[in-house]
Amino acid sequence: MWEVRAIVSTLPTRSGSGKKQPEIFEIALGGGTPQERVEYGIQLLGKEVDVSQALKSGEFVDVFSISKGKGLAGVIKRHGVKIRDRKSNKPRRNVATLGAWTPAGVMSTVPRQGQLGFWQRTERNKLVLTVGSDPANVNVRGGFLRYGPVPGAHVLLKGSVPGPPKRLIKLRISSRMRVQQPTAPSITGVALTSPQGA
């Protein structure tokens, strides 16, 4: 036995997003010997795991999510291809050439139009600023845009997180941590003014 995994479920009614169906997925249990992991997993069966049990302020985490979907996009927006000169022949927002005569086919490396966004993305080494349970410390006036007020426990991260406001985000302790001994940051205040200027 090399790895111990647990099948876990989210509690969407506590998120405030209006979602009713829970997300069910596997997570690996780490630390100790395989036998100790099995015993730890048995202790957690049927219990709720709070975010404060897993994360601490000052730690670094990896963020997993599906990015925002943009739909069909052309090569200019999707790949950053240069817009051709005004006097060029045929369309300006196309690729100038699709490749050589031989091999007789378009290679997969040639920029083409297609789906943009809605991709699995991993953001590494995000600093955990705070882990709290009182939503009054972070709720802005009028709620967050396209989400509303935070109803319960929360995590503040430094940096960007992929995906729209109500999409599932998975966190784990960073696997490529750059700082060997992270220290908890000192937060003097959180701006609670409305993002809409009210």
Q: Write out pLDDT tens, residues 96-114.
A: 999 999 999 999 999 999 9
Percent of the chain with pLDDT over 70: 98
User: Domain boundaries in the chain?
Assistant: 1-49, 50-68+121-198, 71-117
Look at residue 198 in the predicted model and tell me its pLDDT: 60
Contacts of 185 (CB under 8 A, 6+ apart): 57, 58, 127, 129
CB burial of residue 131 (10 Å; 0-12, 13-18, 19+): buried
Rounded distance, CA 156 to CA 80, Å?
A: 32
Alpha carbons 103 and 118: distance in angstroms, whole number = 32
Tell which CATH classification among 4.10.960.10, 3.40.50.300, 3.40.50.20, 3.40.50.9100 matches the domain 71-117.
4.10.960.10
Distances (CA, A) of 47 to 11, 37, 153: 12, 16, 17
For residue 126, the model assigns a pLDDT of 94
Whether the predicted pLDDT of 182 surpasses 80:
no
Topology of domain 50-68+121-198 in CATH is Elongation Factor Tu (Ef-tu); domain 3 (2.40.30)
